[in-house]
Amino acid sequence: MSEQELVLSVRHVTSGYRDRGLFRRGPYQEVLRDVTFDVRHGEILGLVGESGTGKSTLARTILGIVKPDQGQVIHYTKRPQMIFQDPYSALNPAYSVEWTLEEPLRVYGKYDAPERKRRVREMLDRVGLPEECLAAKPAELSGGQRQRVSIAAALIQRPRFLIADEPVSALDVTIQAQILDLLRTLRRELDLSYLFISHDLNVVYQLCDRVLVMKEGRIVEQGTVDDIFDHPKDDYTRQLLAAAE
Ligand SMILES: Nc1ncnc2c1ncn2[C@@H]1O[C@H](COP(=O)(O)OP(=O)(O)OP(=O)(O)O)[C@@H](O)[C@H]1O
């Protein structure tokens, strides 16, 4: 696969934490073990595995928050942005939606005020929110609206690659379906790629093109959604599928 077709390569990455315990000097805990995969241009790559297996640690390692002890993380596009399960973690409760969406552009410094306002309104429209939301604070919005705002905040700097860590897990099923639809539409319209982290295999089946299965910090199986769901090769994948039925 040529480099133009990739947005990210993770090569033999081993990483973990040193900051446990008293005075953050606890023993080193290895979390990721020899992790290798690519994210291809335009794809939605699912990452599944039980709680505590290292999915969020992988996201942090891709973002550079956790440094790999071995191996390499190679970005072929702008740095990815993140969407989280709880949009509150991405949205400052004290500020309006307009402020939240405009701030990264203000920091970036390239656009004047009218252009920033135009971009904010365009992004709000793309994520399916009315202009009345601009003045609202996060607490005044529904869970689904808040997740739309955090998606807009992630996209306002026009990244090519998004990491979504359980982005629909806190939403009820109808709203989940709307947000999954939005993510599909945005991928098409903005030519995005996603790493989509979820413990919900049903959601992964609906949304993803390919899937990574992680167990105890290792990728035990990867393949297309059809491969993984219809012809799982690894025992652990079979167990996860059986548990989800
Ligand atoms: N900041 C941290 N410092 C030390 N250890 C951590 C830190 N964050 C996570 N860990 C440990 O790393 C391991 C993997 O956690 P991680 O959050 O990556 O798993 P996960 O697969 O995302 O789980 P979940 O699905 O519950 O979010 C766990 O044992 C966890 O306790």
Distance 58 CA to ligand 1 centre (A): 9
Question: What's the rounded Cα separation, in Å, for the pair 136 and 124?
Answer: 13
CA distance 183 to 189: 10
What residues does each domain of the chain span?
Answer: 86-158
Instruction: Tell me what ipTM this predicted complex has.
Output: 0.95
- Say how many residues make up the chain: 245
pLDDT the model gives residue 9:
97
| Torsion angle of the four alpha carbons 241, 218, 164, 82, in this order, in degrees rounded to the nearest 10 | 170
pLDDT tens digit at each of 245 positions of the chain: 666 699 999 999 999 988 665 566 667 889 999 999 999 999 999 999 999 999 999 999 999 999 999 999 999 998 899 998 887 777 888 999 999 999 999 988 889 999 999 999 999 999 999 999 999 999 999 999 999 999 999 999 999 999 999 988 888 999 999 999 999 999 999 999 999 999 889 999 999 999 999 999 999 999 999 999 999 988 989 988 888 87
In testing the pocket of ligand 1, which one of 32, 53, 203 has its CB within 8 Å of the most ligand atoms? 53
Percent helix, percent strand, percent coil in the chain, to nearest 5: 45, 25, 30
15 in contact with ligand 1, CB cutoff 6 A: no
pLDDT at 164 (0 to 100): 96
Q: Count the Cβ atoms, other than its own, within 10 Å of residue 31.
A: 21
Q: What is the DSSP letter of 227?
A: H
What pLDDT does 22 receive? 59
Compute how many other C-beta atoms are within 10 angstroms of the C-beta atom of residue 204. Answer: 22
CA distance 181 to 179: 5
**Residue with CA closest to ligand 1 atom 24:** 51
pTM above 0.90, yes or no: yes
Which residue's CA lies nearest to atom 17 of ligand 1? 56
32/68 Cα distance (integer angstroms): 9
Residue with tokens 């071995």: 70
To test the ligand 1 pocket, which listed residue (17, 35, 196) has its Cβ within 8 A of the most ligand atoms? 17
